[in-house]
Structure 1
Amino acid sequence: MQGPFNRSGKSKPMAEINVVPFIDIMLVLLVVFMITAPMLTQGVQVELPQVTSQPIDTQEDNDPIIISVDGDGGYFITLGEDSTSVTLEEMSSRVTTILERSPGTPVMVRGDRNVAYGQIVVLMSTLQGAGVANVGLLSEPPQDG
């Protein structure tokens, strides 16, 4: 009698590998990567503010580029004492030009309290496209009383 329960005492080793657990693990990993992959490619990286913050040390020879967004949604670029009104495309090309001349120049964003969050995100995305690796957000300390 041939089969797995023969009485002769000689059993043949099973030469098959059960791959069902491996398939289960691979399907779980596939689902995890499908969910997390879109989250990794979208968004602008921003370091969120802490409860208390220290002033940023700037080098004296490198004035920061300050991009301001007023309450009406207009963009202004300030370098040193010079402040000019620009469009989003002009701002991108000017920032690129300044960073090509002096790559260590910090870039700061000042946004009015009433400006929509989406407009600040568009600004930061444009700055990222212009080659800005880190963007600082300016704020005022809370007033006591």
Structure 2
Amino acid sequence: MQAGGTDGGSHAAATYRGLRSHRTSSALGEINVTPLVDVVLVLLLVFMVTAPMMSRGIDVSLPVANQPETEPEERITVSISAQERIFVGDRPINLQLLEDTVRGMMEGRTHKVVYLRADEGLRYGRVITVVDRLKSAGVDQIGFVYVLPEEKARR
């Protein structure tokens, strides 16, 4: 074996050919994502254009009504102070008159809702008594007014 013999040269050439073929095969193994992105963007554009048309529904010729738009009903708020005084709006009222007063306010309303503001230090029984009177007056729903902890911290 000679130092610069054919065995050493052919081995180097074979190694070079192996590297070259390895490089070309790895280049063929990569995925070109540009066409994929193009297709996805076209599909997104088509969806954005057609989506408003799909939510339109069936074409119907609606009748014209002579009814004026109804104005929103004024909120009825009943408050109970820490001293157990009852108020309808800003007006103080006696517990015995609460039922009749609220019943009169409920006449002609479509939504029989009262909002109840009660001091957090009140006895539970006092609040239940007022709720019972409101239910007897024909109130369908009672909304309890409260303050979120973040708002209370700001006060």
Instruction: Give how far 1:61 is off.
Output: 2.2
For the pair shown, which has the larger CA radius of gyration, 1 or 2? 2
Q: CA deviation at 1:92?
A: 1.1
Q: Are residue 143 (structure 1) and residue 150 (structure 2) matched?
A: yes
CA RMSD of aligned residues (A): 1.9
Tell me what 2:107 maps to: 100
TM-score of the superposition, structure 1-length normalised?
0.53
Corresponding residue number in structure 1 for 2:135 = 128
- SS of the residue corresponding to residue 150 of structure 2 reads coil
Unaligned runs of 5+ in 1: 1-58
State the number of aligned residues: 83
Point out 4+ residue stretches in structure 1 off by more than 2 angstroms: none
- Contact 1:108-1:136 within 8 A present in 2 as well: yes
- Gap runs ≥5 in structure 2: 1-69
With normalisation by structure 2, the TM-score equals 0.49
- 1:67 aligned residue: 78
Quick check: 2:112–2:138 contact (8 Å CA) kept in 1?
no
Percentage identity across paired residues of the two chains: 22
Question: Cα distance 1:91–1:103, how it changes in 2: closer, same or farther (>3 A)?
Answer: farther
Residue correspondence of structure 1 range 17-36 to structure 2 within 5 A: none
- Name the counterpart of 1:118: 125
Q: Once the two structures are superposed, what CA deviation does each residue of 1:68-126 show, in whole Å capped at 9, x if it has no partner?
A: 00000000001xxxx10001122211110011132424201000011111100010011
